Amino acid sequence: MDCLQVLFDHQSLRHFKDEALPQTAVENIKRAVTQTSSACFFQVCTTLRITDRELLIKIGALSGGTMKLAHAPEFWLFCLDFTKLAHAGFIQRSIPFDVFFNGINDCSMACQSALTAAEAQGLGGVAIGGFKRRISEIAQLLKLPHLTAPVLGLVLGVPDEAYREPQQKPRLPQDWLIMDNMWRDPFDEKMFAVYNQEFADYAARRVAGPSHKTWEQACSAMLAKRDATADDLVQYYRSQGFTIG
């Protein structure tokens, strides 16, 4: 499939057939992940491919009830991993913030590479980060050592086409998201009202759970759900050797 068309047609998919991923597709995704750019070429993103059903159920339960994990064929977890640099003698007990930040970027890019490679082969998926609320428990479950930490997850599978949306989720105006040379404030009340209505119209027609929320209302509801235990995330990263603040 044409790469540009894959990117243009992207949808987050959460419903999958009860089928294993073809081995050729898995190998292609692995290759895409390992070929992803890496800051300073430190290669500090380690990816855990999880197919064990018991593990998927446990991770789903620890991810705030993200039980799509329990029914998905695979879950790929992109982790910071500075153990190789430590073995080589470049890292001792702590990771400077700038190196930590670059590692987060590595993991994010690797996740996007994996998803694009999957979609190019007719597969689908959705990136998730809900596991952050109980990140230490998931890390223990997966035996992650010091100088490592989960960053981002990706659920993958063969899409159940009955749940594919006939239309893509509308985005904010492109010139609100992409600017030339320097920042400007593009906000316009009338355009924002139009976008909110477009989003609400889309939401009302969604195959996978219609709603009547505007984009503004959806964002407000998500922000209101913030769990105080998420503050433990910083403490977890510090305990793993990452310098934050």
pLDDT recorded at residue 154: 94
Based on the fold, state whether residues 43 and 75 are members of the same structural domain.
yes
Domain count, the chain: 2
Q: Please check whether residue 211 lies inside any domain of the structure.
A: no
Residues 20 and 73 sit within 8 Å (Cβ to Cβ):
yes
Q: Which whole-number Å values give the CA distances from 4 to 35, 117, 125, in the listed order?
A: 18, 12, 18
Based on the fold, state whether residues 109 and 12 are members of the same structural domain.
yes
Q: Please check whether residue 209 lies inside any domain of the structure.
A: no
Q: Please check whether residue 105 lies inside any domain of the structure.
A: yes
Q: Please check whether residue 144 lies inside any domain of the structure.
A: yes
pLDDT recorded at residue 148: 96
Based on the fold, state whether residues 156 and 183 are members of the same structural domain.
no
Domain extent at residue 183: 174-203
Based on the fold, state whether residues 106 and 137 are members of the same structural domain.
yes
What is the arithmetic mean of pLDDT over 177-192? 96
Based on the fold, state whether residues 70 and 186 are members of the same structural domain.
no
pLDDT at 221 over 80: yes
Cα–Cα distance for residue pair 173/138, rounded to 1 Å = 38
